[in-house]
Amino acid sequence: MLLEHSSDAVLVFDEAGRFLEVNPRLCRLLGYEREELMQMNVLDLLPDEELARLPVNYDDLRAGKTVRRERRLLCKDGTRVRVEVVGSLVGEGKMQSVVRELPREETAGDSDLGGRVEFYEEVSRFEAGLIRRALAQTHGNQKKAAELLGVNHTTLHTMVRRYGIDPAVFKEQSDFPRLVPESRPRRK
Q: Which CATH number characterizes residue 164's domain?
A: 1.10.10
CA distance 6 to 20: 17
Q: Which is nearest to 26 in space by CA: 15, 16, 14, 40?
A: 40
Q: Residue 107: CA atoms inside 13 Å, Cβ hemisphere, count?
A: 1
CA distance 147 to 179: 12
Same domain, 7 and 87: yes
137 Cα distance to chain centroid: 38
Q: Is residue 187 part of a domain?
A: no
Same domain, 119 and 42: no
Tell me which residue range forms the domain holding 134: 113-171
Please give the share of the chain, as a percent, with pLDDT higher than 70: 79
Same domain, 7 and 65: yes
Main-chain phi, psi angles of 12, to 5 degrees? -120, 135
Q: Using 50, 70 and 90 to split pLDDT, how confident is the model at 184?
A: low
Residue 178 has pLDDT above 60, yes or no: no
Q: Is residue 23 part of a domain?
A: yes
Same domain, 120 and 49: no
- Angle formed at CA 154 by CA 152 and CA 160, multiple of 5 degrees: 105
- Angle formed at CA 14 by CA 11 and CA 15, multiple of 5 degrees: 130
The SS3 of residue 21 is strand
- Give the residue from 101, 128, 163 where a domain finishes: 101
Q: Express each pLDDT in 30-87 by its tens digit.
A: 999 999 999 999 999 998 888 888 888 778 888 888 889 899 999 999 999 999 999 8
